[in-house]
Structure 1
Amino acid sequence: MAHGHDSNEKVVYVGDSRVRKRDPMLPRDYSAYPGKSEAFIPNFLLKEWMVGAVVLVGVLVLVMQEPAPLGYPADPLNTSFIPMPDWYFLFMYQLLKYPYVSGNDFKIFLGSLAIPGLAFGGLMLAPFLDTGKERRFYRRPIAASLMILSLLAVVHLTVVSWTHYQKELTDKNIIPEHIKRHQEMEEAKKAGGGGETGGAKKPAAGAQIVAQDDPGYAIYQKATCLNCHAADLKGKSGMPALRGIGDKYDKNQILDIIKNGKSPGMPPVYDANIKAGLSAADIDTLANWLAQQKKQ
């Protein structure tokens, strides 16, 4: 405490020496680090979360505007169905098709767990492994190269998977179930049916199975036709019924469909039936029996 105006007088401060002087709450100066101007936590991270929230809301709006495509109820006996994941998993779906990640248990483990685990684990550990101060990507060649390579790989696998799927549909003359179901609903609306197909096309009114004691009926029970048209000829999983098929096609036309298929959605099944144990004479008998299926 000063008692006069003498500049040499000893000054004694009165107060609790245990109270420490605190630094003002000012943001840290990052001007010494090129490309970085603020603290990562919480300043930069909060901005990233806000941008992520806006993007998420935008995605949700797009999802609500377009209803999800729906096919028919799952049918394990429908051999014409081609399973496909959502678009954001197409790259993983394509990866699992390659021979070095499929075939035995080790390869399946490698493709389904090991490789994805390394990729996503590396992405999670990147902030801890790459601790350099530089933030400009062209001055971080290793990290930037790995990220660009990963992005190119994902895009390539996605495009290849989708292209192969389209080729399969064309080669097998298949219409995707959600498109076929939508077309059937539109046709039902135009016909005054209310727009619901019930999963399978119903047979014509009054159509029944004809000549069940014919040898062709026993051959039908062994044929691959059961996979799509059911044992009672009513059809399943959106496939057409065969009851009353004789009113549309004669024996020769049915044989032609068996051998060459019919658009849309009917692939050739002649070779498949031969492999299933039927002979050419059996298929001829089967075609003759199907031609007898007419309305009564």
Structure 2
Amino acid sequence: MAHGHKSDEKIVYVGDSRVRTRSAKMAQPDYSAFPGKSEVFIPNFLLKEWMVGVVVLVGILVLVVSDPAPLGYPADPTNTQFIPMPDWYFLFMYQLLKYPYTSDQFVVLGTLVIPAIMFGGLMVAPFLDTGKERRFYKRPIASTLMFLTLVACTYLTVVSWTHYEHEMKDKNLVPEHIKREEELHAGKAESGGGGAKKPAAAAAIVAPDDPGAEIYKKATCVACHGGELKGMPSSGIPALRGVGDKHSKDEILNIIKKGQGNMSPQYDDNIKKGLTDADIDKVAEWLSKQKKE
């Protein structure tokens, strides 16, 4: 090596020719290079994941078997008092669709665009957040979006259920599955615990071959009272079997023309359907024959 500032001094570089420069990248060691600290993905790790999944599914199955599903009354499209409610995991979407900007003219925004953005964001998140940092407080964007989504879903779920409870209280209603269970227990108590009390046999249809019976099938009455005259008692629509014991022909005609209770006048609607006054008269006469004895 040179010493000082003499320009004519010879400079000698010292090196070792035995050290070779690597031209290829080092191969990454596999799991076998870390005994006791790593394992092969298939089948070892995957089998463990499957075992955990089986345990979770068995736990869910035990919960399903231990508590029977709540059952309400059969679906009744004429029951205007019924308040439909989705399962708990859809309550936030149910509440979202109540707001003006996600319903009515903007229903496509609430039912398609917003859910597509939310679930689409989950799908592309692994491709957008490619940083190596895994501590949530050092990933501000991903953590902020996660907390905002969690808070929004929780808030909408709580608000939806609170509104439902207030609506049920204001209308003095009891959920159908609870009401049906109470009726079942009451029936068992009345029958001495031997099962639900059997309802009394309904009266048979009188003169099923009467011309009025055929006209009845074309009238608006059949939409609510049914072709078998059984009505829908759970919705406040009485059966017409035995109606002749309560009303005469003239009274039935008066009900058809003026309505009664929750039933609106049906005369004009029947005329629009093509029935004549003579047809309506025959229907009323036939219904007046419906007696228990």
The reply to whether residue 101 of structure 1 matches residue 106 of structure 2 is no
Aligned residues: 207
Structure 2 match to 1:144:
143
C-alpha separation in 2, matches of 1:190 and 1:44: 56
C-alpha separation in 2, matches of 1:114 and 1:38: 43
Q: Tell me if structure 2 keeps the 8 A contact 1:185–1:195.
A: yes
Residue 23 to residue 129, structure 1, CA distance change in 2 (3 Å) = closer
Residue 141 to residue 135, structure 1, CA distance change in 2 (3 Å) = same
C-alpha separation in 2, matches of 1:86 and 1:74: 17
C-alpha separation in 2, matches of 1:184 and 1:233: 24
C-alpha separation in 1, matches of 2:233 and 2:39: 58
Structure 1 match to 2:128:
129
The Cα of 1:41 is off from its aligned counterpart by 6.8
Residue 242 to residue 25, structure 1, CA distance change in 2 (3 Å) = closer
Q: Give the AA of the match of 2:31.
A: L
Trace 1:1-296 onto structure 2 (pairs within 5 A).
Answer: 25-26=30-31, 51-104=52-105, 107-192=106-191, 194-195=195-196, 236=232, 238-239=234-235
Structure 2 match to 1:290:
none
SS of residue matched to 1:238? helix
C-alpha separation in 2, matches of 1:153 and 1:180: 33
SS of residue matched to 1:116? helix
Rg comparison, structure with higher value: 2
Residue 23 to residue 111, structure 1, CA distance change in 2 (3 Å) = closer
Q: Tell me if structure 2 keeps the 8 A contact 1:203–1:234.
A: no
Q: Give the AA of the match of 1:236.
A: M
The Cα of 1:57 is off from its aligned counterpart by 2.8
Residue 162 to residue 231, structure 1, CA distance change in 2 (3 Å) = farther
Structure 1 match to 2:285:
none
Q: Give the AA of the match of 2:68.
A: P
C-alpha separation in 2, matches of 1:131 and 1:119: 19
C-alpha separation in 1, matches of 2:46 and 2:144: 24
C-alpha separation in 1, matches of 2:50 and 2:64: 21
SS of residue matched to 2:31? coil
The Cα of 1:132 is off from its aligned counterpart by 0.5
C-alpha separation in 1, matches of 2:39 and 2:148: 29
**When the two structures are superposed, what TM-score results if normalisation uses the length of structure 2?**
0.56
- Structure 2: segments with no counterpart, 5+ residues: 1-26, 204-219, 243-259, 266-291
Residue 235 to residue 169, structure 1, CA distance change in 2 (3 Å) = farther
C-alpha separation in 1, matches of 2:40 and 2:133: 13
The Cα of 1:92 is off from its aligned counterpart by 0.8
SS of residue matched to 1:155? helix
Q: Give the AA of the match of 1:91.
A: F
Instruction: Provide the alpha-carbon RMSD of the alignment.
Output: 4.4
Residue 91 to residue 124, structure 1, CA distance change in 2 (3 Å) = same
C-alpha separation in 2, matches of 1:153 and 1:133: 28
The Cα of 1:125 is off from its aligned counterpart by 1.7
SS of residue matched to 1:135? coil
1:152-187 superposed Cα distances (whole Å, 9 cap, x missing partner): 111111101100010110000111111111111111
Q: Tell me if structure 1 keeps the 8 A contact 2:31–2:40.
A: no
Structure 2 match to 1:261:
none
C-alpha separation in 2, matches of 1:56 and 1:116: 27
The Cα of 1:127 is off from its aligned counterpart by 1.3
SS of residue matched to 1:175? coil
Residue 205 to residue 45, structure 1, CA distance change in 2 (3 Å) = closer
Structure 1 match to 2:19:
none
- Structure 1: segments with no counterpart, 5+ residues: 1-21, 30-36, 207-221, 245-268, 278-294
Residue 196 to residue 157, structure 1, CA distance change in 2 (3 Å) = farther
SS of residue matched to 2:84? coil
Q: Give the AA of the match of 2:195.
A: G
Q: Give the AA of the match of 1:77.
A: T
C-alpha separation in 2, matches of 1:152 and 1:231: 51
Q: Give the AA of the match of 1:26.
A: Y
The Cα of 1:55 is off from its aligned counterpart by 3.0
Residue 115 to residue 23, structure 1, CA distance change in 2 (3 Å) = closer
C-alpha separation in 1, matches of 2:45 and 2:138: 21
